[in-house]
Amino acid sequence: MGRTPFCTAEGLKKGPWTAEEDQKLIAYIQKHGEGGWRSLPEKAGLQRCGKSCRLRWANYLRPGIKRGDFTSEDDQTIIELHAALGNRWAAIARHLPKRTDNEIKNYWNAHLKKRLATMSIDPVTQKPVGTTPGSSSRNSSTMGNAEPPMVHTESATKQESEPTLQQPTSRSTSASALLLNKLASRVTTLQCVDPLRACQIMQSMSSKGTGDGGATANNESAICRPTSNCQGNNISTALDTSAWLDIAETLTTPLNCLDLLETLPPELAECNASDDGGVSVDNYRIEDPVSDALSILDKNASAPASSFSSTSDRVLNNMASKLASLPCVDEIHDWQHNLPGPIQGDSDTTTTGDVAILDDISIDDTTYDMVGSPIFYNLNYLENEPEPSDPFYIP
C-alpha cells in the first residue's frame, strides 16, 4: 500500500522554469488560488508535476518573497538560529520574514558555513575550533539536543558596519549569549540564587563603592523578558563596570558564591541565616536583603525597577550584560558540560534519579525539572511564534 509517488507521470518537463511557464502558473494561481496541486498543471497548461509547481510558486513566484541581498543582520540571525536549531531550515526561515527555507539553506551552505570555517569557528557550535577540551561531547545541533536560542545580541553588541562574527575576536558572542541564557534560565528557577547573588552584589559594592552611575556603553547586552517594560533595546545597566567584572569573575565556577556567604559582613549575615544558624540556600525566604541590594542598584540604574518582572530578572540582566563578553563564559560552558544528569540539557532521556552536585548544592530530580523546563520552553519558543512571556533574550 502506501502512498503513490507524487510525480510519476511520464513526459513531464523537469529542470529550469521558463518565463512562459512562470506566467502560466502565476496566472492560474491568481485566478484560482493556491492548492489542488495535483490537478493544477493540467488545468494551467503546464507539463510539470504538481509538486514542481508548488515548489516553484512557494520559493520564487509567491508575492512578497525577498531574494538575495542578505544583510549582516540577516547573516547574524541565521548563524545564531542555526547554532540553536541546526539544519531546520523551515524553522529558521520563520524568523526571517519573506525568506524561504530553500534560500536560507543554500545561503548557509554556500556562504555562511564557509565564512565561519575561514574564521576557524566551528559552524555547528560557533566556538573557535580547538579551544574546548573534550569537544567530542559537544552536540551536533540536531533536533534532540539543540541549545535554547534565548539570547539575541544583535543590536547591542554588533558593530555598525560589520557583522559580529567578522570581528577578529576569538570568541563568538552568540555562543556566549546562548550559554548565558541557558545559565539564566537555570539560575532563575533556583530561587536560592537570588539571595546569594544579592549578597554578592552588596559585598562587591561595599568593597568597591557604587561607582559614579555612568551607564556602560559597550558590551551592553541585556537579558529581559519580552513582557516587561524593557522590551527592545531600551535596557541599560548602570552599575560600575569594574564591579560587574569582579562579580562575573567570581562566577567562573557557578554557585561558588556560596563561599562568599561565609565572608559577608555581619549586617548582611541574616540574609542567609537558616533556623539552625547555618547557611541556607534551598529555603529562600529572606527578601529584604535582596531589596536592599537592588535599591542600591537603583540609585545608579537608568532602568527603573519596574522594568523587570522579578528581582532575579534584574540581577540576571545586569550580570548577563557583563558576563557576555568575558572569557570565563567558556569556562562555565566547560564546567556545565561536565555536569552529570539532564541539567546539561542534551536529552530528555537522561532524566534519571541521579543527583548532581553543583559545588555544595545538591540538585534533585524536582530541581532538574525546574531547571530543564525553561530550556525546553525556550527551544519551543523559537520554533513557534514568539510568546510575550518567559523567554529571555538579549536585544
Q: List residues binding DNA (CB under 7 A).
A: 1-7, 13-17, 35-39, 48, 50-52, 54-56, 58-60, 67-68, 87-91, 101-103, 105-107, 109-111, 114
Q: How far is the CB of 94 from DNA (least distance, A)?
A: 7
Q: How far is the CB of 109 from DNA (least distance, A)?
A: 7
Nearer to DNA by Cβ, of 39 and 159: the residue is: 39
**176: its cell numbers:** 556566549
CA distances from 77 to 105, 146, 149, 174, 267 (A): 13, 16, 11, 10, 47
Q: How far is the CB of 226 from DNA (least distance, A)?
A: 23
The residue type at 298: D
Nearer to DNA by Cβ, of 232 and 386: the residue is: 386
Nearer to DNA by Cβ, of 70 and 392: the residue is: 70
**127: its cell numbers:** 566556538
The residue type at 303: A
Q: How far is the CB of 327 from DNA (least distance, A)?
A: 33
Nearer to DNA by Cβ, of 52 and 200: the residue is: 52
DSSP single-letter state for residue 3? P
What's the CA angle centered on 187, arms 149 and 193, to 5 degrees? 165
Q: How far is the CB of 334 from DNA (least distance, A)?
A: 28
Nearer to DNA by Cβ, of 107 and 308: the residue is: 107
Q: How far is the CB of 16 from DNA (least distance, A)?
A: 4
Nearer to DNA by Cβ, of 124 and 215: the residue is: 124
Q: How far is the CB of 92 from DNA (least distance, A)?
A: 7
| CA–CA separation, 92 and 99 (whole Å) | 9
Non-local (6+) Cβ contacts of 38 within 8 A are 6, 50
Phi, psi of 306 (to 5 degrees): -70, -10
Q: Residue 392: name the closest of 92, 178, 74 by CA.
A: 178
| CA–CA separation, 45 and 21 (whole Å) | 9
Nearer to DNA by Cβ, of 17 and 244: the residue is: 17
Q: How far is the CB of 165 from DNA (least distance, A)?
A: 17
Q: Which residue has the cell 491568481?
A: 30
DSSP for 104-160, written as a single string: HHHHIIIIIHHHHHHTTB-TTT-SBTT-STTGGGS----GGGPPP-----HHHH--S
Nearer to DNA by Cβ, of 105 and 337: the residue is: 105
Q: What are the beta bridge partners of residue 356? A: 363
Q: Are 393 and 377 in contact (CB under 8 A)?
A: no
